[in-house]
Chains A and B, each alone.
Chain A
Amino acid sequence: MAKRVAIIGTGQTHHRSHRLDVNGREMIYEAVNRALDDSGLTIADIDAIVIGNMDHFESINYVDAWSVEGSGGVMKPIMKVTTGGTTGTSVAIAAYYHVASGMFDKVLAIGWEKNSESDTTGAIVTCSDPVWDRYSYSGAIPSLATEASAYMEKYGATPEDAAYVALRERTHAQNNPYAHMYGRPITLQDVMDSPMLAYPIRLLDICPRTDGAAAVIFASEDVAEKLTPQPAWIQAASVRHTFTWFGDVDQRSGLQSLQRASQEAYRIAGIKNPVDDFDVAELYLPYSYAGLKWIEALGFCEPGEGPQFIRDGHTNMGGKIPVNPSGGVMSTNCIGATALLRVAEAAIQVMGKGEARQVPDVNRALATGFGGCWWSDVMILGKEKP
């Protein structure tokens, strides 16, 4: 029988485009220290560490070994887990598995990226198949843009619909001092007027490149409540990774990996109606059109209804289901940390530590990760022990 597991503390850097004042290890150290402070622990209390970032980004290959000074991993069990964009949820779910196994009481999950150290697009191109896909592939932006083109054709969604998502994310980020885009509000017109990167994606439709790190501490039911008055319990976790070749994903359908992962997680956690049953969602939405289409995969609304659901304000602060009070991926994207930030921010909401970005009375929160070849991870966190 698996142990029940909770998040007892989180830490993150103040995310910026270029952190030239620190190397990767030192940046990781900042996030780890903040997570330890938040949990009331020292590094001596940590039993094991799971760490991840994007392959090829910093040209640092053995990140578990390379980072030990900053992670606190000297003479501790430490593993690297890296799965592309989902890396952050993968390290979170791997840490959850570690604790649930009963072999470790307190496990530290770390995600980080120094996007400033490499060409992000060039590095991402190396995730595509070298024989078939790489010649025409050009990184995340056009790959996502193709999905948008099929969605627009099928449902008549418009660039303005997508711009409302971009506006929501950036507006929410103004409540989050850790966000890369904190202090930089935008208007709907700014999105529509920004440079076209890859039709139909404009500059303000897509996530930035960020230097930053996140750390989250998972604890077993034997110790969690002794360490913090309100842990964020893991009520479900689900992983659905599908194909390796981009052409095997049918862009005419909904995001199937997210449909399948969320359906399984909802079944485990007893979610019947996600809009009513969740108080907040931290979703890995790397570009604006995902904010229309992927909430359909999560069952917030029916296929094709995403644009109206957004325009009705249901996902804004104060709406039926506020999405990304942190500002989300489009406001901060230190890629190996990005999905872990979704988990951390969901935990922050459950623990009531969100300060200006706190949604009132959060009982249950949804977090997602996205990456690889259209892969999805889902976690459900809540105040109640599962």
Chain B
Amino acid sequence: MSQKSVELLTITSAPIGMPYQWSVGIYGSRFFEEIRKTQRFVGIRCPQCGKVRVPPRRICGECFCEMDELVYLPSAGTIVAFSVVNYPFLDPSTGKKRPIPYTYGYIQIDGADNIFSHIINETDADKIRVGMRVQAVFKKPEEMQGNIEDIRYFDIIK
């Protein structure tokens, strides 16, 4: 059948809500507890490769072994990479448009071997450089909810 002879239709799903409930685990829960109580980060050291990773998790994927040595880290670090997000999209976690522009940052927390991804509080790409120092800014402890938004963003240290 020729497609010119018929109007081509699409149908649209309703804005359905499908809530999920993800387990944060022992070490992740400890991380959020620590930033609420002391505003410092907790990482974890692998007994085999010796690397410190933040956020803490139970298993070192590279060594495939369990970790249990917590390491306390400051809430400052260095920008390793970044991007200023400038285009609109629906956030599947909220069903709403993510506010833009915002800066997606990869930050090496002092004393960690891996990189922590979060938001940098500067959206002018000309004012951000790889290698700049940043400091985590937290919510007030009484406003914290035990999730990643308890860290509001990272401020560039002038």
- State the A residues within 8 Å of B (CB): 20-21, 59, 119, 121-123, 125-126, 130-139, 141-143, 145-150, 153, 195-201, 242-252
Contacts and interface: CB of A to CB of B under 8 A. Distances in A.
A242 B87 CA distance: 29
Interface residues of B, number: 41
Interface stretch (B33-41, B68-76, B124-132, B136-144): B124-132
B17 interface: no
Contacts of B85: 138, 141-142, 198
A122 B61 contact: no
Contacts, number: 128
Interface in B117-158: 117-119, 125, 129-131, 147-149
B53 interface: yes
A197 B100 CA distance: 11
A146 B81 contact: yes
A200 B130 CA distance: 13
Contact of A137 (B80, B104, B125): B104
A252 B53 contact: no
A200 B92 CA distance: 25
A150 B92 CA distance: 28
8 contacts: A131-B22, A131-B147, A136-B118, A143-B104, A150-B80, A150-B81, A248-B53, A250-B80
The 8 nearest A-B residue pairs measured at CB: A145-B83, A146-B81, A153-B130, A247-B115, A142-B83, A121-B89, A199-B125, A150-B81
Contacts of A248: 53, 61, 114-115
A132 B114 contact: no
B10 A20 contact: yes
Contact of B83 (A123, A132, A198): A198
A201 B86 CA distance: 10
A219 B114 CA distance: 44
Contacts of A125: 89, 91-93
Say whether chain A's binding surface is mostly helix, strand, loop, or mixed. loop
A198 B87 contact: yes
A195 B3 CA distance: 34
B84 A251 contact: no
A199 B83 contact: yes
B71 to A, nearest CB: 16
A362 to B, nearest CB: 37
A119 B86 contact: no
A137 B117 contact: yes
Contact of B117 (A132, A150, A243): A132
Given A132-B117, A137-B117, A150-B80, A21 B13 contact: no
Contact of B8 (A21, A121, A197): A21
B86 A196 contact: yes
B22 A198 contact: no
B10 A122 contact: no
A196 B83 CA distance: 11
Contacts of B83: 141-143, 145-146, 148-149, 198-201
From B22, B90, B104, residue with most partner A Cβ within 10 Å: B104
